[in-house]
A and B are shown apart, each in its own frame.
Chain A
Amino acid sequence: MEIGVFLLFALLAVTSALVVVVHRNPVYSVMSLVVTLVSTAVLFVMLGAPFLAALQVLVYTGAILVLFLFVIMLLNIERETQRTNGGWFKKLAALISAAIFVAIVGSISLQAYTGRFLEALTPESVAIEPLARELFSTYLLPFEIIGLLLLAAVVGATVLARKQDAVSPEKER
Chain B
Amino acid sequence: MTQELITTLVKITLWLVVLLTTVPVMVWVERRASAFIQDRRGPNRVGPLGLVQPLADALKFIFKEDITPTAADRPLYLLAPLLAVLPALTTFALIPFGPDVVIDGRTVPLIVADVETGVLLLLALASLGVYSLVMAGYSSNNKYSLFGGIRASSQMISYELALTLAVLAALIPVGSFRLDEVVLYQQGTWLGFLPRWNVFPQFIGFMVFLIAAFAETNRVPFDLPEADSELVAGYHTEYSSMKFALFFMGEYMSMATLSALAATLYFGGWHLPGVRFSDTWYWALAQGFGILLMKVALFLLFFVWVRWSFPRFRFDQLMRLGWKVLLPVGIFNLVLVAAMTLAGWL
Contact = CB atoms under 8 A, between A and B. Distances in A.
B117 A128 contact: yes
By secondary structure, the A interface counts as helix
B339 interface: no
B76 A74 contact: no
B256 to A, nearest CB: 20
A128 B76 CA distance: 37
A127 B116 CA distance: 7
B120 A66 contact: no
A119 B302 CA distance: 50
17 contacts: A27-B76, A28-B76, A31-B131, A53-B117, A57-B128, A58-B120, A61-B127, A61-B128, A62-B123, A63-B127, A63-B160, A66-B131, A66-B134, A69-B134, A70-B150, A73-B149, A128-B177
A61 B157 CA distance: 11
B137 A73 contact: yes
B346 interface: no
Given A54-B117, A73-B138, A73-B149, A66 B157 contact: yes
A62 B127 contact: yes
Interface in B34-75: 73
A58 B138 contact: no
A61 B153 CA distance: 12
Given A31-B76, A74-B150, A51 B120 contact: yes
B156 interface: yes
Interface residues of A, number: 23
The 6 closest A-B pairs by CB, nearest first: A62-B127, A57-B124, A58-B124, A54-B120, A70-B153, A54-B117
Contact of A63 (B120, B134, B157, B177): B157
Interface in B63-117: 73, 76, 115-117
By secondary structure, the B interface counts as helix
Contacts of B146: 73
A17 interface: no
A131 B312 CA distance: 44
Nearest to B118: A54
Interface string A115-149: 00000000000111000000000000000000000
Contacts of A128: 116-117, 177
A57 B125 contact: yes
Interface string B138-177: 1000000010011001101100100010000000000001
Contact of B150 (A27, A55, A63, A73): A73
Interface in A33-70: 34, 50-51, 53-55, 57-58, 61-63, 66-67, 69-70
Contact of B153 (A50, A66, A126): A66
Contacts of B135: 31
B213 interface: no
Given A66-B157, A73-B137, A73-B153, A55 B120 contact: yes
B121 interface: yes
Contact of B124 (A27, A54, A69, A126): A54
Nearest to B127: A62
Contacts of B73: 27
A63 B127 CA distance: 8
Contacts of B137: 73
A98 B177 CA distance: 41
A74 B137 CA distance: 12
A20 to B, nearest CB: 15
Nearest to B122: A54
A62 B124 contact: yes
A73 B134 contact: yes
Contacts of B117: 50-51, 53-54, 128
A65 to B, nearest CB: 8
A83 B130 CA distance: 33
B123 A58 contact: yes
Contacts of A62: 123-124, 127-128, 130, 160
A63 to B, nearest CB: 6
Interface in A70-98: 70, 73-74
Given A62-B124, A62-B130, A73-B134, 12 more contacts: A34-B131, A51-B120, A57-B125, A57-B127, A62-B128, A66-B131, A67-B153, A67-B157, A70-B150, A73-B137, A126-B116, A128-B116
Contacts of B156: 66
Contacts of A67: 153, 157
Contacts of B120: 51, 54-55, 58
B13 to A, nearest CB: 23
Given A31-B76, A74-B150, A128-B116, A54 B121 contact: yes
Contacts of A63: 127, 157, 160
Contacts of A61: 124, 127-128
